[in-house]
Amino acid sequence: MKCNRLVDAGRRQFLRGSLVGAAGAAAATVLPSAPAEARGVGLAMLSYPSNRLANIADLKVDEPMDVAYPDADSPGVLLKLGTKVDGGVGPEGDIVAFSVLCPHKGFTMSYNAGDKTLNCPGHFSRFDVEKGGQQVWGHATQNLPQFALRVDDKGDIHAEGVDDLIYGRLSNVLA
């Protein structure tokens, strides 16, 4: 009997730890539709920079442009897909941007225009850039982090948030 109580106490302690962990993970998730200065869930509020990535005139369909966001150590890709997609910006609603670090183990991925996916050379995960970075094959356990974009009246494209945790980070915005 005494033994069972100890086991229960241990389990409660474990569950409490799990909840704290889950809350931390939720806090790391950000919502691209929220204002730039107030994104975040739960305890942590992330303040994302607004970084100019390019101008819409710089982009051609299916010619990826290397970018970095929210800082120089977070490589990404800016893409004009040629077809309107959910979350796409610009006059055609077809411009999107993603981290290129694979969520599985951080290999740098490349774009395959044939099926509009980002492909990992490590263990071959693939992510659909027309569907918000949804994983379509492979080892990764999360979709690809997508950068929230805004186009201003000059056609400049600004990144202002990230919708999932970038590989290797405890927080997308580093102190």
Nearest to 149 by CA among 44, 77, 73: 77
Backbone angles phi, psi at 150, to 5 degrees: -140, 140
**Annotated active-site positions, please?**
104, 123
CB-nearer residue toward ligand FES: 55 or 110: 110
**Number of Cβ within a 10 Å radius of residue 103:** 25
Please give the single-letter amino acid code of residue 24: G
Which residues pair with residue 80 across a beta bridge? 61, 95
Which residues pair with residue 112 across a beta bridge? 117
Nearest to 51 by CA among 36, 38, 69, 65: 69
CB-nearer residue toward ligand FES: 53 or 100: 100
Provide, rounded to whole angstroms, the least separation between the CB of residue 22 and ligand FES.
Answer: 24
CB-nearer residue toward ligand FES: 96 or 140: 140
Provide, rounded to whole angstroms, the least separation between the CB of residue 127 and ligand FES.
Answer: 10
Provide, rounded to whole angstroms, the least separation between the CB of residue 147 and ligand FES.
Answer: 19
Interacting residues with ligand FES (CB under 6 A): 102, 104-105, 107, 120, 122-123, 125, 138-140
